[in-house]
Amino acid sequence: MSGKEIMFTPVSLGSIQLKNRLVMAPLTRMRAVAGDVPNPLAKTYYAQRASAGLIITEATQISPLGMGYPATPGIYSAEQTAAWKEIVETVHTKGGSIVAQLWHVGRISHSSLHPEQGLPEAPSAIAPAGQTYGADWKLHDYETPKAMTLDDIVRLLKEFEAAAQNAKAAGFDGIEIHSANGYLLDQFLQDKTNQRTDQYGGSVENRLRLLGEVIEAVSKVFASDRIGVRLSPYGTFNDIGDSDPVGLFSAAIQKLNAYNLAYVHMIEPRATSAGGGEQVNEEAPITSELFRAAYQGKFITAGGYDQALGEKVLEEGLADAVAYGRLYISNPDLAERFQKNAPLNPYYRATFYGGQEAGYTDYPTL
């Protein structure tokens, strides 16, 4: 079969059935309303894109301290869960599948976003380079985070489990654990940010421990074949890095093989800026070529794909599905456009983050 034919064949990711192999990538849009509740417009936004084989929601914080940017939605309160339930029901009515991406940003935050909880938390008290947006939507220098205690880790695992329970109550088809892009779980994985000397630091096995414990915590709520994990080997976004990425992520894949997950979702490092820019690093190693063979389950690849590249990676068997981000922002009917080789709407970067309908629910369909 050609890559195009493969793209429009169904596939099962664990127990999640996809009608095609186009995945809408998780896309932070910073449009939540008071109480970090998803915007009422989000119902329209996600429903417009329900022809995707799978929608992965925007990253959704599991707790107030998990928040890293203004106006990102949570999944830790009854109000948030009720709003997500409406979104999920609308997507299901349109024949779509949708999973919630569970997020804790760790040190990539600012205390103004969670004044009651104070400083951001992280594996080690190492401030990221650069600046970030505070609650006032203005840039502030990163603060030095508080190193998490063992009690903090116990609390974190309970927060992940509670967020999974809310996702289940909202009717999601599954959940994705965000362990990529330099956020908290990635901070525990990589030695640039994890300089602990306890059972969560030092050896690769120790640095992988928390990710395993998070999977086990949410597996009390969802069967493991409804849980995905997102990783970003070689990513540099959010001042992340490791001295031996191939060793680390090969070990991560071996560990994930034991869990019978729905899928592993890896970001290609050529597009490591996570939507922060257009630059594509052609010299970066190809993650799908390095790690696909080692992973025994279903594999989603993301990062800078166009239609031709997506078809090629499917044809070569380097992925079971391909996630599209920016193209899904501007083309709600991306699946139909790919099927017909129709022209695509250009996207407007200025409306990616914050705002209302403009650049969110007003892109035209065919």
- Active site positions, annotated: 183
CA separation (Å) from 26 to 139, 167, 180, 269?
24, 15, 12, 16
Q: How many CB atoms lie within 10 A of CB 317?
A: 12
Of residues 366, 346, 336, 344, the one with CA closest to residue 7: 336
Token digits for 107? 């040190």
Amino acid (1-letter code) at residue 174: G
What is the rounded distance in angstroms from the CA atom of residue 54 to the CA atom of residue 170?
17
Contact 359, 352 (CB under 8 A): yes
The helix (H) or strand (E) run that includes residue 248 is helix 245-257
* DSSP at 37: B
- Residue in the block written with tokens 């894109």: 49
What is the rounded distance in angstroms from the CA atom of residue 293 to the CA atom of residue 326?
27
- State the Cα torsion 19-286-194-226 to the nearest 10°: 10
What is the rounded distance in angstroms from the CA atom of residue 355 to the CA atom of residue 226?
32
Query: Interior CA angle at 73 toward 274 and 193, to 5°?
Result: 45
